[in-house]
Amino acid sequence: MATTIDKREEQKTKKRKTAVIDVDVHPNPKSYDDLLPYLSDYWKDFLTDAKWKGVFPGIPVMAIVANAGHRMDSIPPEGGLGCSSLSFFKEQVVDKYNYANAILYPDSTFMLAASPQHEMATAVASAYNDWQIDHWLSKDSSLRGTVVIASQDPEEAAREIDRVGSHPQMIQVGLSIHSPYGGWGDKRYHPIWEAAVRNGLICTFHVSVPGGIFQALPVRGNYYPETQTNNGLTYQNQISSIIFGGVFEKFPDLRMVFVEGGFAWLPSVMYTMDTHWRNLRREVPWVKRPPSQTVREHMWFGTQPFIEPEHPEDEKHVLQIIEMIGTNKILFASDYPHWEFDAPQQALAKLPAEVRNKILYKNAVDLYGFEDPMK
Amino acid sequence: MMRNVLCKRDEIPPGDKKIFQVKKTSIVVVRKEDKFFAIRNGCPHQGAELGKGSLGGAAPPSDVKEYCYEKQGEVLYCPWHHWSFDVETGCSVYDEKIKVKTYDVKVEGDDVVLYA
């Protein structure tokens, strides 16, 4: 009898759809006017008079032929920007793919730090945080939020992290992969890392676009597919800056996540850093551990856009690369509502189930401390 | 242990180094003030001649954005990839597991004598 029950239970478990934790979702206001109540009268009038449309004046934005960057079907039935309705997000993504949790990173805010107008960026970052709490986090306890900051003013950014970082659903600090001044390893950014650690938050870097005070690294691309490919180069540059700048030596409790830049390039960076560290430690004596070890201890990487080799015989290398980095270091990221959205099960279909499940939710449970959705 | 007279003391000025062939082994002798050190003339990394590198100090592990500098004149930097070795112990400055053979060297009268 007991055996029969066990078998039934086993079958039930087998049929149970795997839960998903998505670490990269971008909510938008219905219109940018929704942010105005969260701005002081000064900035409300300033931005209204500047005819603000969510993109700062003076930042050239790359033409994105793919529906200007959004999934064509992501506009809610009642209108507005992509992912501007919680109920439509739930219907289109959360319920369809069996999400247990999603981490929000308000759309476009990865470009705030590109503005040379520090005070304006700081005010807008703060408005996004209050809007995110009121319109999304307080309406669904499964959601987690990102503290939006204007990192071009690290002291103000740290104050903003202290202001909203203790909200129980705030789980990370949001940064762009381009840094406003110098690399992310520069000591001018220490107040940000210090505030993140003080508030128990992870620091998450998201792809941004060169423009404003964001420098192109290493060269400015002419075409969007070229730029998309180059995102990984910017990440490599910044990881090297962070490691040799000694950020984790100074802040040993700091953890970082890198999304939308892929991960396949990582083994090359890890071992190249090890080589140059061994040879030239005299210049960076504060880097006490091999860079590859520090990467494995402090950094995690989003899947999206998941690499899809053209030739089927190359598929096996994708798994090999994941194993080189560590199957516990990769997190599922959809990037909804952006056009490069990855559907969880489908994007990872060619990976073995054990690795796929780690990426879909287990690694996020371990890193962010979510409750295990499959228990 | 064979006694090998390498040269006269003044042939290696303080702060300098000199390469000697002792039978089949190439050895670097380093002088810091009146102290002499002898170390095998081969880097364990890729075999470059350490005696063709430079003498300097060591920057041991330190706090972020701070430098300490010690053992000036007792650290031999490889001419190729700048691996660095303590000439007294033969140990790599950053990884004690990596070691170059050292030799007993003495000044006897006016002679620099190596025992190997």
- Say if strands B111-115 and B17-22 run parallel, antiparallel, or are unpaired: unpaired
The residues with which B10 forms a beta bridge, in sequence order, are none
> What phi-psi label fits residue B67: left (phi over 0), alpha (psi between -120 and 50 degrees) or beta?
beta
Q: Which residue of B has its CA nearest to A280?
A: B82
Please check the confidence at residue A264 and state whether its pLDDT lies above 60.
yes
The pLDDT-based confidence of A293 (bands split at 50, 70, 90) is: very high
Please check the confidence at residue A5 and state whether its pLDDT lies above 60.
no
Please check the confidence at residue A13 and state whether its pLDDT lies above 90.
no
Residues of A in contact with B67 (CB under 8 A): 285
The pLDDT-based confidence of A32 (bands split at 50, 70, 90) is: confident
Q: How remote is the C-alpha of B27 from its chain's centroid?
A: 9
Q: Cβ contact (<8 Å) for B61 and A245?
A: no
Please check the confidence at residue A61 and state whether its pLDDT lies above 90.
no
Please check the confidence at residue A58 and state whether its pLDDT lies above 80.
no
| pLDDT at residue number A210 | 85
The parent domain of residue A358 ranges over 25-368
Please check the confidence at residue A181 and state whether its pLDDT lies above 80.
yes
Q: Which two tokens stand for residue B108?
A: 């006897």
Judge contact between A310 and A1, C-beta under 8 A.
no
Residue A20 lies in a domain: no
Q: Which two tokens stand for residue B13?
A: 């000025």
Residue A333 lies in a domain: yes
Q: Which residue of A has its CA nearest to B65?
A: A286
Residues of B in contact with A282 (CB under 8 A): 58-59, 82, 84
CATH code for the domain in which residue A183 is found: 3.20.20.140
| pLDDT at residue number A1 | 46
Judge contact between A359 and A323, C-beta under 8 A.
no
**C-alpha to C-alpha distances, B98 to A96, A193, A241, A270, B47, nearest whole angstrom:** 56, 35, 28, 21, 13
CB contact set of B96 (below 8 Å; sequence gap of 6+): none
| Burial zone of A82 (CB within 10 Å; 0-12 exposed, 13-18 middle, 19+ buried) | buried
* Facing residue for B64 by CB, picked from A250, A280, A282: A250
| pLDDT at residue number A301 | 98
Residue A267 lies in a domain: yes
- Mean residue pLDDT across chain B: 96
- Mean residue pLDDT across chain A: 91
Task: Give the single-character DSSP code of A28.
Answer: -
Give A122-151 as a DSSP string. HHHHHHHHHHHHHHTGGG-TTEEEEEE--T
Q: Which two tokens stand for residue A126?
A: 């703060």
| pLDDT at residue number B50 | 97
Q: What is the spatial distance between Cα A255 and Cα A197, in angstroms, rounded to a whole number?
A: 9
Digit-coded pLDDT (tens) for A203-235: 999 999 888 888 887 777 788 888 888 889 999
**Strands of B102-108's sheet, edge to edge?**
B3-8, B111-115, B102-108, B35-40, B25-32, B17-22
Q: Cβ contact (<8 Å) for A282 and B61?
A: no
Q: Which among A16, A51, A17 is positioned nearest to A33, based on CA atoms?
A: A51
Residues of A in contact with B64 (CB under 8 A): 187, 245-246, 249-250, 286
- Whether the bond between B79 and the residue before it is cis, its omega within 30 degrees of 0, is no
The parent domain of residue B98 ranges over 3-115
Residues of A in contact with B72 (CB under 8 A): none
CB contact set of A328 (below 8 Å; sequence gap of 6+): A358, A363, A366
Interface of B with A (CB under 8 A): 58-68, 81-84, 93-95
CATH code for the domain in which residue B46 is found: 2.102.10.10
Q: Which two tokens stand for residue A10?
A: 């086993």
Sign of the dihedral defined by the CA atoms of residues B99, B100, B103, B107, in that order? negative
- Greater confidence, A12 or A363? A363
Digit-coded pLDDT (tens) for A228-238: 888 899 999 99
Residue A352 lies in a domain: yes
Q: Cβ contact (<8 Å) for A286 and B64?
A: yes
Question: How many structural domains comprise chain A?
Answer: 1
Residue A373 lies in a domain: no
Residue A2 lies in a domain: no
**Strands of A256-259's sheet, edge to edge?**
A20-25, A99-104, A143-148, A170-176, A202-206, A256-259, A299-302, A330-331
Average pLDDT over residues A127-131: 97
- Greater confidence, B99 or A4? B99
The pLDDT-based confidence of A51 (bands split at 50, 70, 90) is: confident
Residues of A in contact with B93 (CB under 8 A): 281
Q: Which among A364, A367, A260, A334 is positioned nearest to A25, based on CA atoms?
A: A334
Question: How many structural domains comprise chain B?
Answer: 1
Instruction: Calculate how close chain A gets to B68, using CA atoms only, in Å.
Output: 9
Digit-coded pLDDT (tens) for A319-344: 999 999 999 999 999 999 998 899 99
Give A181-231 as a DSSP string. SS-TTSGGGHHHHHHHHHTT-EEEEE---SBTTBPPSS---SSHHHHHHHH
The residues of chain B scoring below 50 in pLDDT are: none
Q: Cβ contact (<8 Å) for B61 and A286?
A: yes
| pLDDT at residue number B36 | 98
* Facing residue for A286 by CB, picked from B62, B83, B93: B62
Q: Which of A248, A274, A278 to mutate to test the interface with B (most CBs of B within 10 A)?
A: A278
Only one residue has tokens 């691996």, namely B83
Q: What is the spatial distance between Cα A337 and Cα A198, in angstroms, rounded to a whole number?
A: 32
CB pairs under 8 A between A and B: 37
Containing B84, the helix (H) or strand (E) segment is strand B84-86
Q: What is the ipTM of this complex?
A: 0.83
**C-alpha to C-alpha distances, A158 to A118, A151, A196, B12, nearest whole angstrom:** 14, 9, 8, 58
Q: Cβ contact (<8 Å) for B62 and A285?
A: yes
Residue A147 lies in a domain: yes
Residue A205 lies in a domain: yes
